[in-house]
């Protein structure tokens, strides 16, 4: 039996098994079998479901640390729908896109968000492979708005008079900021500290960061 997060995602989106099946031309029975892990999903279906729920395939299939022992059950009262804001680069900086790209359901218990202002949290979609293997191209990253981060934390940073945004490990050395990729194929980006501003810290993407 193969565990997955299909049921959690469906419930968070407020869909019945019949309604989800209708989106993919599947019966309620088929959805039930997929959710229980009694029937495996082929690659095309996995990709289609991940796109539909705006999540990574790893999260859908409960991979990269998502095991039955550490999953937190989704309670209706703890689910919030956080906005998705455009795209940022995990690679060379690109122009920040500030338009709203819908919302994504998130369990506040999973990251202990209770007590924080929910308006301080949002999702950004990653573009590029410079943060592989920790953060995947096309994935959604949960961000908490904050203007400072600790050395080595993964941050969303706007550089060059706030015209560009990028996602990198952040290091401050004197009057310079070093934005370091995880993928060793990418060299660090070095900017004057007065030309960069931290707009948030990356907290989650298909697993804890």
Catalytic center residues: 130, 168
| Long-range contacts, 94-103 (Cβ 8 Å, 24+) | 94/127, 94/164, 94/165, 94/166, 95/163, 95/164, 95/165, 96/158, 96/162, 96/163, 96/164, 96/165, 101/125, 102/54
Give the Cα separation of 3 and 62 in Å (integer): 7
Report residue 65 as tokens.
């640390």
User: Could you give the C-alpha distances from 129 to 51, 123, 139, 182, 183, in angstroms and in order?
Assistant: 18, 18, 10, 9, 7
Label residue 56 left, alpha or beta by phi (over 0 means left) and psi (-120 to 50 means alpha).
Answer: beta
> Are 176 and 191 spatial neighbours (Cβ–Cβ below 8 Å)?
yes
């Amino acid at each position: 039996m193969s565990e997955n997060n299909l049921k959690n995602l469906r419930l968070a989106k407020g869909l019945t098994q019949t309604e989800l099946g209708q989106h993919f031309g599947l019966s309620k029975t088929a959805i039930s079998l997929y959710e229980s892990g009694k029937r495996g999903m082929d690659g095309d279906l996995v990709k289609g479901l991940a796109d539909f729920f705006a999540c990574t395939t790893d999260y859908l299939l409960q991979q990269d640390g998502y095991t039955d022992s550490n999953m937190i059950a989704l309670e209706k009262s703890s689910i919030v729908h956080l906005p998705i804001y455009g795209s940022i680069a995990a690679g060379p900086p690109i122009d920040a896109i500030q338009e709203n790209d819908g919302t994504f359901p998130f369990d506040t218990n999973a990251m202990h968000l209770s007590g924080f202002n929910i308006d301080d949290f949002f999702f950004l979609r990653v573009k590029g492979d410079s943060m592989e293997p920790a953060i995947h191209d096309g994935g959604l990253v949960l961000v908490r708005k904050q203007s400072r981060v600790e050395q080595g934390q993964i941050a969303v940073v706007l550089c060059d008079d706030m015209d560009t945004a990028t996602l990198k490990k952040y290091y401050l050395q004197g009057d310079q900021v070093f934005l370091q990729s995880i993928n060793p194929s990418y060299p660090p980006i070095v900017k004057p500290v007065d030309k960069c501003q931290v707009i948030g810290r990356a907290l989650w993407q298909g697993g804890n960061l």
